[in-house]
Amino acid sequence: MARRAGPLTPVWPGLVLAALVALAVTAPLAALLARAGTAAPGPADWAALRFTLWQAVLSTLLSLICAIPLARALARRRFPGRDALVLLLGVPFVLPVIAGVLGLLAVFGRNGWINAGLAAVGLPALSPYGLQGILLAHLFFNLPLVTRMLLQGWQAIPAERLRMAESLALTPRARFAHIEGPMLRAVLPGAAVVVFTLCLSSFSVALILGGGPGATTLELAIYQAFRFDFAPDRAAVLGLLQLTLVGTAGLVALWLVPAAQAEASRGRVLRHWGGGRGFDAAIITIAALFLSAPLVAVLLRGAPGVVDLPPSVWRAAALSVTLSVVVAALVVIMAGGIALAALRFPLLEITALPGLALSPLVLGTGLFLLVYPRLSPEALALPATVLANTLAALPFALRLILPRLQQAVADHGRLAASLGLSRGIWFARILWPALRPAIGLAAGVAAALAMGDLGVIALFADADRATLPLQVMRLMGSYRSDAAAAAALVLVAISLTLFWACERVTRDA
Amino acid sequence: MRYLSLVPGLFLSSMALADTPVLTVLTYDSFVSEWGPGPAVEKAFEADCACDLRFVGAGDGAALLARLQLEGTASEADIVLGLDTNLTAAATATGLFAPHGATPKLALPVAWNDPNFLPFDWGWFAFVGNAGRDYPTDFKALAASDLKIVIQDPRSSTPGLGLVMWVKAAYGDQAGAIWADLADNIVTVTPGWSEAYGLFLEGEADLVLSYTTSPAYHLIAESDAGKVALPFTEGHYLQVEVAGKLAGTDQPALADRFLQFMLSPAFQDVIPTTNWMYPATETALPDGFAAMIQPATSLLLSADDAQAARDAAVEEWRAALAR
């Protein structure tokens, strides 16, 4: 019998990693609970809770209402540029929020393109600030997500059903009732709760477009409790409110949404059906303009200033790249280790789930309470940023990697064991090729999201050390809009490159 | 991996200067910006202090206090520059500040006897807009108009807090009603003065809360007479901006020297044309300042009165704007 280097699926590293994750989650939470004690939320805190829920409900409804006709039009129409548009739908997912908001301001601001048009025909100006601004930004970021989920739903409708509907000459209403309705009923609740959860924990959008007492979300209130009032007790109370809210929504989301789709299908086009060609064309045109205009605005406004950017921006960029590479590596190592252990102990996957509910600001608050005043908050800024981003990406990465690992072990495990393969060969020849695409996507998403993250860092950063998103915000704040746009353009370029590079080098041959 | 080659650059600047004593001044963002007083002040002070003067910008003035409490005694700051009289009582109560022990000759519109803080400039708050149209002359008319204004958050910004105190000083018990009427004029509330002024210059609002002297910047630095400050019949609230030495400083002598320098001509002379405020000592003003409006009535709560009124006034503001 050949000597093996050890079991093919080591369990111990994963158990240790899972224990570390559990500790990283529970320790800050315990600190929050201890600090909040019996303190009750005040009127301003309840107002923040109400606004958080209200804007999330409206944002979700708006995203669904707009996504249904768009996904339907994309599912049944073929036109030049369709593939590019579907690709564009993937961009907001990895687009740094601050860059998107900057673009939206250029388009919808009082001096923006839209208001210039409105003024030309004598209409009153729209303001991108407050509730309407937050809704607009949430629509920009979530419409593509819902559209992609629905598009997959439409494309999953069996072709023979559509043919049958055609041969039976069903009225549009009957076709909707029998074919599209059931699909929407299956997909929409999941999409709704995902968008709702995302909007509950939206921070950057509310930070830039909200802010006044009438437009303060819980996340923003936590930030203000720290940076404006220095009231850690209130931050702890707000943190627990936010945790309960997002945790509940996150659990519902997990329960309603099927396992993450690793590959977004560009997908087949369904046979053209039904009329409404003009309507579809209008919907597609408006959506394409809405989603691309902010990106074009950042490009046009930012490009001339890139060469003149101050060194502080490049230092911030270097720091951000370093952080996001560290996050991506940590995510892959932890997800891989935990996935291996989860083969034996399936419940281990649960350890990663709190990452869905633990918003960066809640985590940051907890960490601060743990170390204060032994360590200065600046010392916490970078480690907390890495931790928050790693924990946030972990559930997503596990959901990508674990099914593929299970498949690979089921397909090859027994044979490999009987052949007495060494662990090295097993990992290099069997597991790596099988897991490569999932690892690449997980690393790419983790790196891109960490690159664009503006959360914990805003809480603790000092003046000298900033990540690129924070630097963009500071430039916006010191009325250097052109430099801000240029830095945002650099940020977008790096984020997309990181995502593309990770995804590209590990793609199936 | 070209990015990695940039990383060492992050640490170079602090290492190279490790030998000379460092005086860290925590201040508001616009003070350190390249067109603010920061660069000129740094150059002048470093010319003969044999030290490294480091300005650290941390948001707007009111956020400085929270920042200081966040850092507690671990703070690296030696001086905090940019609080105002609405905050000095709260700052004193933290116990983090040390007495300055100085009796300088000042030229302020008010008497000065704060043992912990020294003033470095002052001004009147005012709404600033583009010239060439008729503007309201009091808060009630402003609230009744459809003009869009951008203001600052009183919890993070000294102008934002100054506006809340202004309304409070002018209207007392009716302040809440004034805010309720103003709510639909407010485009947005920014964390600091820079953000608000930036939005105004970008055209996002008709008016911005700033100072009577803000048009001087456009007049002198940009030869643009197109900005005006609005005179209000209620009178204008005064702001006296101050600096103080931290009790936990590791450079007490250097900190005292800086406070002394702060009231010398080398510092005071650059204030009008970099911070666009009135200097705290007898200093000749540049030409453009003569064209600025001179409020007939000044409003100001004493440091103790401001402290007593602050929480309730800010809550009144918050509640009115939350509706």
The 10s digit of each residue's pLDDT in A382-438 is 999 999 999 989 988 998 899 899 999 888 888 888 888 888 888 888 889 999 989
Give the number of C-alpha atoms closer than 13 A to the C-alpha of residue B20, restricted to the C-beta side: 16
Residue numbers in A near B187 (CB within 8 A): 110, 127, 129-130
Q: Does B9 have pLDDT greater than 50?
A: no
CATH topology of domain B123-238+293-322: D-Maltodextrin-Binding Protein; domain 2 (3.40.190)
φ/ψ of residue B75, rounded to 5: -60, 140
**Of B74 and A346, more confident:** A346
A 195-234 → B contacts, CB under 8 A: 209, 211-214, 216, 224, 226-230
Here the tokens at position A408 are: 């690979």
Whole-structure pTM value = 0.87
Asked if A245 and A313 sit in the same domain, the reply is no
Q: Does A264 have pLDDT greater than 50?
A: no
Query: In whole angstroms, what is the distance from residue A438 CA to residue A402 CA?
Result: 9
**A342-383 pLDDT, tens digit each:** 988 888 888 877 777 788 888 988 888 888 777 777 788 899
Tokens 């009630």 locate to B140
Asked if A235 and A312 sit in the same domain, the reply is no
Report the residue of chain A nearest B94, measured CA to CA.
Answer: A230
* CB-nearest partner of B10 from A319, A375, A476: A319
Q: Which residue among A245, A265, A285 closes a domain? A: A265
Q: What angle do CA B178, B184, B188 make, to 5 degrees?
A: 105
Here the tokens at position B281 are: 């000592």
Q: Which residue among A249, A265, A281 closes a domain? A: A265
* Boundaries of every domain in chain B: 2-122+239-289, 123-238+293-322
- Neighbouring C-beta atoms of residue A211, cutoff 10 Å: 23
Asked if A241 and A313 sit in the same domain, the reply is no
Out of A58-62, A104-108, A229-233, A257-261, least confident range = A257-261
Contacts of A176 (CB under 8 A, 6+ apart): none
Asked if A200 and A256 sit in the same domain, the reply is yes
Above pLDDT 70, what percent of chain A?
94
The pLDDT value recorded for residue A508 is 60
* CB-nearest partner of B188 from A111, A212, A474: A212
* CB-nearest partner of A228 from B9, B153, B322: B153
The pLDDT value recorded for residue A115 is 87
Query: In whole angstroms, what is the distance from residue B17 CA to residue B5 CA?
Result: 21
Asked if A58 and A14 sit in the same domain, the reply is no
B203 at interface of A, judged by CB pairs closer than 8 A: yes
Q: Does A213 have pLDDT greater than 50?
A: yes
The pLDDT value recorded for residue B80 is 96
The pLDDT value recorded for residue A292 is 95
Q: How far apart are the first and last CA of chain A?
A: 35
The pLDDT value recorded for residue A175 is 81
Question: What is the overall mean pLDDT for chain A?
Answer: 87
The pLDDT value recorded for residue B278 is 96
pLDDT band, very low/low/confident/very high, at A274 (cuts 50, 70, 90): low
Predicted-complex ipTM score: 0.83
The pLDDT value recorded for residue A479 is 67
CATH superfamily ID and name for B2-122+239-289:
Periplasmic binding protein-like II (3.40.190.10)
B205 at interface of A, judged by CB pairs closer than 8 A: yes
- In chain A, what's the furthest Cα-to-Cα distance? 87
CATH topology identical between B2-122+239-289 and B123-238+293-322: yes
Residue A235 lies inside a defined structural domain of this protein: yes
CB A460 within 8 A of CB A368: yes
**Of A211 and A301, more confident:** A301
The pLDDT value recorded for residue A474 is 85
Residue numbers in B near A211 (CB within 8 A): 153, 188-191
Tokens 């918003």 locate to A359
**Of A244 and A165, more confident:** A244
Residue A72 lies inside a defined structural domain of this protein: no
Q: Does B305 have pLDDT greater than 90?
A: yes
Mean pLDDT along residues B242-262: 95
Asked if A221 and A351 sit in the same domain, the reply is no
Q: Does B11 have pLDDT greater than 70?
A: no
Residue A303 lies inside a defined structural domain of this protein: no
Asked if A20 and A61 sit in the same domain, the reply is no
Residue A278 lies inside a defined structural domain of this protein: no
**Of B34 and A289, more confident:** A289
Q: Does B132 have pLDDT greater than 60?
A: yes
Q: How many domains is chain A built from?
A: 2
Mean pLDDT along residues B44-72: 87
Q: Does B1 have pLDDT greater than 60?
A: no
Asked if A106 and A170 sit in the same domain, the reply is yes
- Comparing C-alpha atoms, which of A194, A143, A157, A95 is closest to residue A445? A95
Residue A475 lies inside a defined structural domain of this protein: yes
- Comparing C-alpha atoms, which of A441, A492, A484, A137 is closest to residue A320? A492
Asked if A122 and A5 sit in the same domain, the reply is no
Residue A252 lies inside a defined structural domain of this protein: yes
The pLDDT value recorded for residue A276 is 78
Q: Does A120 have pLDDT greater than 50?
A: yes
Instruction: Dump the DSSP string for A459-486.
Output: HH--SS---HHHHHHHHHHTT-HHHHHH
Contacts of A425 (CB under 8 A, 6+ apart): none
Q: Kindly determine whether residue A211 and residue B188, on different chains, have CB atoms separated by under 8 Å.
A: yes
φ/ψ of residue A480, rounded to 5: -120, 65
B1 at interface of A, judged by CB pairs closer than 8 A: no
The pLDDT value recorded for residue A178 is 85
* CB-nearest partner of A229 from B155, B183, B202: B155
Contacts of A420 (CB under 8 A, 6+ apart): A1, A2, A3, A4
The pLDDT value recorded for residue B256 is 95
The pLDDT value recorded for residue B144 is 97
The pLDDT value recorded for residue A273 is 62
Residue A190 lies inside a defined structural domain of this protein: yes
Here the tokens at position B187 are: 């485009």
**A229-253 pLDDT, tens digit each:** 888 888 889 999 998 998 888 888 7
- Comparing C-alpha atoms, which of B272, B37, B312, B70 is closest to residue A230? B70
Q: How far apart are the first and last CA of chain B?
A: 52
Label residue A160 exposed, middle or buried (CB < 10 Å: 0-12, 13-18, 19+): exposed
Q: Does A262 have pLDDT greater than 50?
A: no
CA distance to partner chain A, nearest, from residue B88 (Å): 15
CA distance to partner chain A, nearest, from residue B58 (Å): 6
Here the tokens at position A99 are: 């860059």
Query: In whole angstroms, what is the distance from residue B157 CA to residue A477 CA?
Result: 13
Instruction: Dump the DSSP string for A341-398.
Output: HHHH-GGGGGGGTHHHH--HHHHHHHHHHHHTTTS-HHHHHHHHHHHHHHHHHHHHHH
Residue A42 lies inside a defined structural domain of this protein: no
Asked if A375 and A339 sit in the same domain, the reply is yes
Query: In whole angstroms, what is the distance from residue B204 CA to residue B198 CA?
Result: 9
Q: Does A463 have pLDDT greater than 70?
A: no
The pLDDT value recorded for residue A156 is 84
Query: In whole angstroms, what is the distance from residue B160 CA to residue B153 CA?
Result: 5
CA torsion, points B119, B211, B296, B302, in degrees to nearest 10?
Answer: -40
Mean pLDDT along residues A262-289: 72
Asked if A55 and A10 sit in the same domain, the reply is no
The pLDDT value recorded for residue A272 is 59
Q: Kindly determine whether residue A213 and residue B318, on different chains, have CB atoms separated by under 8 Å.
A: yes
Tokens 């405020």 locate to B277
For residue A5, the domain's CATH number is 1.10.3720.10
Asked if A319 and A254 sit in the same domain, the reply is no
Here the tokens at position B160 are: 């934002």
Q: Does B180 have pLDDT greater than 80?
A: yes
Helices B175-182 & B303-322 angle (0-180, nearest 10): 40
Domain limits at A28?
1-34+308-509
B148 at interface of A, judged by CB pairs closer than 8 A: yes
The pLDDT value recorded for residue B53 is 94
Amino acid occupying residue B268: Q
pLDDT band, very low/low/confident/very high, at A206 (cuts 50, 70, 90): very high
Query: In whole angstroms, what is the distance from residue A199 CA to residue A221 CA?
Result: 15
Which of left, alpha, beta for B167 (phi over 0: left; psi -120 to 50: alpha)?
alpha
**A173-203 pLDDT, tens digit each:** 888 888 888 889 888 988 999 899 889 988 9
